[in-house]
Amino acid sequence: MTRRLGWFLASGLLVALLLAGVVSGFAAGHPDGLDATARQGCTFNADDEITGGTCMLQKEQEHQLAGSPLADYGIRGLGEGPLSTGLSGVLGVLVTFGLGGGVFWLARRRTRTEAGA
């Protein structure tokens, strides 16, 4: 049973890493649903700057973590290309997998301790 769970987790991690590393490079250049909705009502020039209209995007502000190494779906210092986006996605998957695995390990350990007491 443990061997099957290990293969399942490893397969899931591999798929997530491939999606984050490869597919994210293609998807990041296109606005998602929230971005598309925020742009509705405004007109834009060739440089993607607002030239008129009224939309939510006009009230956009820098977020508190804008200067962090992983801000804006990339890694600072690598530019805005697919390599930066892919590595950022891979790092995000690894951190999330590590944190999730740690939480489950602690919960499992706590359950065993309580069962033995």
Cβ partners under 8 Å of residue 81, min gap 6: 25
* 92: in domain: yes
Residues 101-111 pLDDT 10s: 899 888 887 76
> Averaged over 17-31, what is the pLDDT?
77
**Given this model, what pLDDT does residue 31 score?**
66
What's the total number of domains in the chain?
1
* 65: in domain: no
pTM of whole model > 0.75? no
**Eight-class DSSP state of 20:** I
Backbone angles phi, psi at 23, to 5 degrees: -70, -35
- Residue 29 domain boundaries: 2-59+79-116
Q: How far is CA 45 from the centre of its chain?
A: 29
* 72: in domain: no
* 88: in domain: yes
Q: How far apart are CA 21 and CA 75, in angstroms?
A: 13
* 90: in domain: yes
* 97: in domain: yes
> Averaged over 42-52, what is the pLDDT?
86
Please check whether residue 42 is in contact with residue 55, taking contact to mean a CB–CB distance below 8 angstroms.
yes
